[in-house]
């Protein structure tokens, strides 16, 4: 009978230990969840800043073009306009800048820009 009592206590200790481990795991998961939420907020903030920067670059490109200046070769052929900016979206602009692939931006406006640019180069 003494053995059964000891066995019950041992089992009870094991169950209590398992419960404590589960509580610790739950607490750790809660901490990880809070960390992820914090990172999500930081990513949103970074994205907003990046969107603002991209809009600034588009504004500068428009300003350069309107002032008769020459765009950098990397941006040649792209006509920065508010309509285009809304069409491609900021993520599209970001992807194009990161990859250097502006082929998705070709349309009549870009073709006109390239033609004007080429005729200016020929004249010089």
Provide the residue-wise pLDDT of the chain in tens; the chain has 124 residues: 445 666 777 777 788 888 889 899 999 999 999 999 999 999 998 998 898 888 888 888 878 778 877 766 776 665 555 444 444 455 555 565 666 554 444 444 444 444 444 454 455 4
Domain that holds residue 36: 2-123
State the pTM of this model: 0.38
Place of tokens 């998705």: 104
> How many domains does the chain contain in total?
1
SS3 for 9-66 is: HHHHHHHHHHHHHHHHHHHHHHHHHHHHHHHHHHHHHHHHHHHHHHHHHHHHHHHHHH
Gap between the Cα atoms of 100 and 112, Å rounded? 21
């Amino acid at each position: 009978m003494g053995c059964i009592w000891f066995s019950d206590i041992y089992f009870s200790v094991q169950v209590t230990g398992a419960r404590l481990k589960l509580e610790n795991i739950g607490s750790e998961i809660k901490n990880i969840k809070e960390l992820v939420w914090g990172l999500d907020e930081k990513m949103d903030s970074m994205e907003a800043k990046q969107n603002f920067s991209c809009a600034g670059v588009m504004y500068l490109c428009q300003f350069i073009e309107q002032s008769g200046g020459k765009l950098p070769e990397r941006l040649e052929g792209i006509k920065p306009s508010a309509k285009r900016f809304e069409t491609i979206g900021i993520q599209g602009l970001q992807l194009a800048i990161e990859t250097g692939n502006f082929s998705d931006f070709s349309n009549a406006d870009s073709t006109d820009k390239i033609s004007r640019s080429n005729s200016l180069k020929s004249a010089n």
